[in-house]
Structure 1
Amino acid sequence: MRYYQYELLPHTANLNSYGARMCAVELLYREGMRMHWSERPESAEEYGVLAALEVMLPMRDGVRLATDLYFPARLDALGERAPGQFPVIMVRTPYNKRTDRQRVEAEYFARRGYIVAIQDCRGRYRSEGTFYFLTQEPEDGYDTCEWLGTQPWSTGRVGTMGTSYLGWTQTAAAVLNPPHLAAMVVNQAGASAWHATVRHNGAMELRFLAWAFMEAGTSPAAMRDPALRDAFERTFAIDWLSNLPLRPGLTPLALHPSTERWALDVYTRGDYDAYWQHPGFDFARYYDAHADVPLLLCGSWYDSYTRATLENYVALAERKSGPVHLLMGGWTHGSATVDTSFAGNVELGPNMPVAGNLAESFIHLHLHWFDRWLKDIDNGVDREDPVRIFVMGDGDGHRTREGRIYRGGYWRSEREFPLQRATDTPFYFQPGGGLAPNQPSVSNAATSFRYDPANPVPTIGGNLSSLAQQVPVPESILANVPYEQRWASISSIGGQDQRTTPETYGATPPYMPLAARDDVVVFQTEPLDAPVEVTGPLSATLYVSSSAPDTDYTVKLVDVFPPSPDYPLGYALNISDAIFRARYRNDPARPELMEPGNVYTINIPMYGTSAVFGVGHRIRVDISSSNFPRFDPNPNTGEPIGRHTHSIVATNTVHHDAAYPSHITLPLVPIE
């Protein structure tokens, strides 16, 4: 069912007291109606703010982490903390704890009766110690949570919040089950770094090598050493990502050895072994140990953590009493995008932003969660359906004033995810390029293509973030633009027409559709005579062979809009995609090379979605072997990952006949 707004009844509409609002809550629920977010009781803005900056919190090994504490303050006595105890909200970040956004959010909660602790992660900004990507976060998060929960000004209830790496820091601490952890809002964080988000079914998500250059350039060492800072300001990540492999001591990362160490580790450790099973990387491996606390998992269909967010919800909702809730929008990665109406070049309409639809703002949504579970305010969030998803609609596809294709969509509440009413339906690759639910009956049908690692398929949109590098800044304003704000994405993100342009990295004139390349194999349905909703996890099963001992296979689900006055050539909108490194087809921990000519089965988990394919549209699947610079191109040689000495061209084949029925599996939902 859709999310509807209900107005208060006339005799309570003008009452503003807490008691009157509680009566309204009870009345709405007694009559079986869903309360609108604007009528929920909530913490009032009744305090000032006092901040204690650079409080050095000791960790178990003696390293001290710099933490800013924001306290509720008395309004009638300047410079005094409000009396009493308050719940604490913990935020741990590698991105500088004192940004304007962090400060504004901290003050928002402090004025409403929360203490907020924002901490620089180990080895970042003003914290002591050495930064190592993700693996330091479980113990540091646990120790910080317990310090905050045992202070005399704390009620003993600690909540956590944050996006991306700030979500990883939450889950890392939660698997150690700190006693004072009481509630969490995790926005866009990982599950298993090897399976998706750092590596991806064996391939490398190059965004984290780009992220390494940013981390080194903002390290405490670079802050202290102008020459080191200048070296990284003159470095462009894409130059190095285009000249793989990275070699120890031969890139600018060698100027900051601790960064080089973790970057080379995640790049060259291709097997899913003990390294990747650390709780900082592999949250999914420790689901059973995770703290059983109220947990709101937030994500989106075009986020770089879509698969991880959905896997976390499915696993934890089954294991924990929580409650565990899921919120999935249509936006791209980040905490600011949740209040936008678009994802890349696709306009999803005024219903999508959190602001005005689900709450006043995204931080206001957090307030409702924390009010319920850290302050026991009966605001009804525990009585809501546990799942809210944004269904990307079948809009008319006109071009908006901003130049985006209009898709539209709406929010819908659900009792579970995946949906019980969804039917997993295979769509088989047909001879001649068709795509249909019926299994092919012919024999010996296959399509081959030539994959050259030196000429990979360019990345156009998709579920990616942090694949960025600094951009030139005019000398006249250079001093006023912080280094962290000089970064822009190397590739387009979110929903995009799968056609190259002069802005597409790696593309060359005449800027053709990706489907026109001879290394992209296309299968598509006939134009649909009725709308089709696809909601849930996706997967593909490919029967493949190759002339090379190792190679990659990519799968992309595309919604093909028919030609229109605004788009005379139609519009091929990417919905979901994935990559798979063939050597890991049987066991991610034990690679096996391929024998030329043999046919192998590859099962590829893809990012989930919720999208309606409209009348006249086609459902399309694109198969290839590369997607650069999102993923590292496989050199096809079978050499140790990240240490190859050369590359070769591979002839890769996808089989699609009665014996080898390659297909994509789509969860189809009846349209009411």
Structure 2
Amino acid sequence: MTSRNPWSRPVGRRSVLVGTALGATALLAGSQLRFAGRSRAEGADPWAGWQPPVQSFPNTFIEQNVPIPMDDGVTIRADVWYPADESGAKVPGRYPVVVTTHCYGKALLGAMADYSRYGYVVVVADSRGTGASEGSFGLLDDREGADAYAIVEWAGTQPFSTGKVGVDGFSYLGATAAKTAATRPPHLAAANFGGAPTDPYRTFITQGGNWSSSSALWFALELLGVAPLPFTLNSYGGLDVQPRNPTTDIATFLTRLQTDGSSIPYRFAELQRLIDGSNNFDNGFWQERTTDVGNIDVPTLVYSGWADLFLRDTPRDFRALPLERGSKLMAIGPWTHYSLPKHIGSRNDQPIDDLLISWFDRWLKGIDNGVDRLDPVLLWENGSERWAGHDDWPVAGTSYDRLHLTGTRSGTSNSLNDGTLTALPAATAGSDTEVIDPLAGVCSRQTVQYLGGLPVYLPIAFFMPEFPISEFPGIDQIAPCFRTDDRANEQGALTWTTAPTGTDLLFTGPVALTLHGSTTAADPVWVARLSDVAPDGTARPIGEGALVASRRALDPARTKYSPDGDVVEPFHIHTHEAVLPVPRDAVETYNVEIWPTSWRVTAGHRLRLTIDGAEFPHLLPNASTPDRLGTLTVHYGPDRQSFLNLPVHQGAFP
């Protein structure tokens, strides 16, 4: 089935009769309805016309622990990085300012690029309750947003400032940058944020309502911001360790422990609330920490990687930015969260730092470098392994095509059922059942993805510190199970596979699974994985999604539908009040959100869907784990069509 643009919300799920009729006419005519718009010619260089920045200062001077007063009497402390000459002395002058705030300790991590050597002053602030800053840590709460607003305004009015400020950050730093930009400080003139969990409940803390390993990883990493460090780490262009005077850091830390103790107990209290499930809902706590990027009114660059653990929010953020062409840009590369370096450009050999600096050069300095004339959407195209430029998200020419689950054997998989995916609806009713294995998925791409690539980077850091990591982009993808064969995860699971494609097929965007399922478990998790199956049988992982059965309630106002009513981008409610019963053996409808991708299935390859009941360690055990055990049964047939919805913009599946 083919459908039109789902991003303009129809009036009612099935009320756009004209769109439905047009879809049926196109299907009968053997044609496809696709989004209007322009997409760059295939094979063209999407980076053409962009001029990367040129370094203008040889060194950086760092002023440590500069106090910034807040309106409630708390003092936030920041390190201020200035352009410096050959001798390391600060070069006087007025410069645009880049601000970043975070919870990991400003001595350990600065801005995302070496802005000071390109003519910027950089203000790196410890979030309230971390590092040398006073107060209590609030984990992206409104108070942290108010602090960031005040820091931007302070930076914009200092003698070293031109009055133009940009916010910058990646990961948690990206979330704070987005939150800051959404508060609209008057001196803010541009923003960039990457790998940012702007909807932390759905993207960071859980997936589909199940506690995620990414949140456990973060609760370990953010403890780095608790204790002071005796040095400042400047890793731009090589490791440069600069001594610190830790007096202020230590004094603030001791005072914090003596007064409210929030530096450590608060963090473990929040971790415990996730383990026991008491805070595993999209409640007021998480809603306060969600950023409405629709409030951002300055030119904004967002970026992520197809295997980034926070990928979900980046395309959604780009789509929500109320900005004109040229003033918003999105780049998604072949990266995990911690991929180092992240490469871009015509030959995919330039650091993404160049793009970040160029963005601020354009909007904070007025340099005509062509960055605002790039295609607004720059995507790494998996399968063809190249960059492609597009006008918008979803990309021009996209149609949503159904691939139906059927009981016909494909003869390609050693799974429990070896079913077939086909463009034709299932003509015969059937079902397939598996027993849930709580350790399923232990060797899957998601193990690496949701630990940010650290299974590769940590051993290198500890055991091979001299390894020239900058010369090996994407080295995190050599981790076991990341790019290799996913067939091991199919044994004991259920699969459906297409016939080989006759020509290349390209799909780009979010993927949705509409599933009719029943279970003997009290509250299982449905896991859906996609893979690209080569002629030799190798199954290369593409992406996945997950949904806890009781969390299946959709928010119709935020879910994207096709005009004929198909769910093409689910948005689940996830509040305590929205939890639905899971009657034993009752057939229910589940809409599983599979995170977006851009993937070329080359001629002769197949697409495979795997359905499982666990994905360990990505989907972590918690107090609800006993409810996850039992059987899963997938139903299909004339009255219960289960199907994938794929955002296809080149070719068609058989």
TM-based fold match above 0.5: yes
| Match of residue 145, structure 2, among 122, 138, 150 | 138
In structure 2, distance between residues paired with 1:470 and 1:421: 38
1:86-101 equivalences in 2 (<5 Å): 86-99=95-108
The residue number in structure 2 matching 1:351 is: none
The residue number in structure 1 matching 2:436 is: 451
- Cα distance, 1:597 vs. partner? 2.2
TM-score by length of 2: 0.75
TM-score by length of 1: 0.73
The residue number in structure 2 matching 1:19 is: none
Alignment RMSD: 3.4
- Deviations, residues 494-516 of structure 1 (Å, cap 9, x unaligned): 434215xxxxxxxxxxxxx1111
- Cα distance, 1:93 vs. partner? 2.8
| Match of residue 545, structure 1, among 504, 518, 524 | 518
| DSSP-derived class of the 1:331 partner | strand
Residues 1:410 and 2:386 are matched in the alignment: yes
- Cα distance, 1:647 vs. partner? 5.0
- Contact 1:536–1:667, Cα closer than 8 Å, also in 2: yes
Gaps of 5+ in 1: 7-33, 224-252, 340-353, 395-408, 482-487, 500-512, 564-569, 634-641
1:152-551 equivalences in 2 (<5 Å): 152-216=159-223, 219-220=226-227, 256-267=264-275, 268=277, 269-278=279-288, 280=289, 282-283=290-291, 286-288=292-294, 290-316=295-321, 318=322, 323-334=327-338, 336-339=340-343, 354=344, 357=347, 360-394=350-384, 409-432=385-408, 433-443=419-429, 445-453=430-438, 455-462=439-446, 463-466=449-452, 494-499=482-487, 513-517=488-492, 520-551=493-524
The residue number in structure 1 matching 2:235 is: none
- Deviations, residues 553-582 of structure 1 (Å, cap 9, x unaligned): 01111101122xxxxxx3211101011011
The residue number in structure 2 matching 1:657 is: 637
- Deviations, residues 465-497 of structure 1 (Å, cap 9, x unaligned): 3586999999x999999xxxxxx9998574342
- Cα distance, 1:222 vs. partner? 11
- Deviations, residues 197-234 of structure 1 (Å, cap 9, x unaligned): 321121111221233233336622899xxxxxxxxxxx
The residue number in structure 1 matching 2:540 is: 573
The residue number in structure 1 matching 2:620 is: 632
The residue number in structure 2 matching 1:15 is: none
Q: Percent identity?
A: 27
| CA 1:258–1:494: 2 relative to 1, 3 Å | same
- Deviations, residues 298-357 of structure 1 (Å, cap 9, x unaligned): 1121111221101111111x5667721111112211362413xxxxxxxxxxxxxx2663
- Contact 2:104–2:221, Cα closer than 8 Å, also in 1: no
| DSSP-derived class of the 1:195 partner | helix
- Deviations, residues 134-159 of structure 1 (Å, cap 9, x unaligned): 32531222121111112122111111
In structure 2, distance between residues paired with 1:438 and 1:489: 36
- Deviations, residues 102-150 of structure 1 (Å, cap 9, x unaligned): 48x76x4223221111122233333333334332531222121111112
Residues 1:81 and 2:91 are matched in the alignment: yes
The residue number in structure 2 matching 1:70 is: 81
In structure 2, distance between residues paired with 1:494 and 1:355: 24
| DSSP-derived class of the 2:218 partner | helix
| CA 1:219–1:421: 2 relative to 1, 3 Å | same
In structure 2, distance between residues paired with 1:165 and 1:266: 19
- Contact 1:533–1:612, Cα closer than 8 Å, also in 2: yes
| CA 1:220–1:489: 2 relative to 1, 3 Å | farther
| CA 1:647–1:452: 2 relative to 1, 3 Å | farther
In structure 2, distance between residues paired with 1:260 and 1:450: 34
In structure 1, distance between residues paired with 2:607 and 2:150: 50
In structure 2, distance between residues paired with 1:556 and 1:202: 17
| CA 1:411–1:169: 2 relative to 1, 3 Å | same
- Contact 1:449–1:651, Cα closer than 8 Å, also in 2: yes
- Contact 2:219–2:271, Cα closer than 8 Å, also in 1: yes
Question: Residue type of the partner of 2:162?
Answer: T
| CA 1:473–1:548: 2 relative to 1, 3 Å | closer
In structure 2, distance between residues paired with 1:218 and 1:521: 44
Gaps of 5+ in 2: 1-40, 231-260, 409-418, 468-475, 554-572
| CA 1:261–1:206: 2 relative to 1, 3 Å | same
In structure 2, distance between residues paired with 1:78 and 1:477: 32
In structure 2, distance between residues paired with 1:416 and 1:473: 39
Residues 1:611 and 2:599 are matched in the alignment: yes
| DSSP-derived class of the 1:654 partner | strand
The residue number in structure 1 matching 2:568 is: none
The residue number in structure 2 matching 1:24 is: none
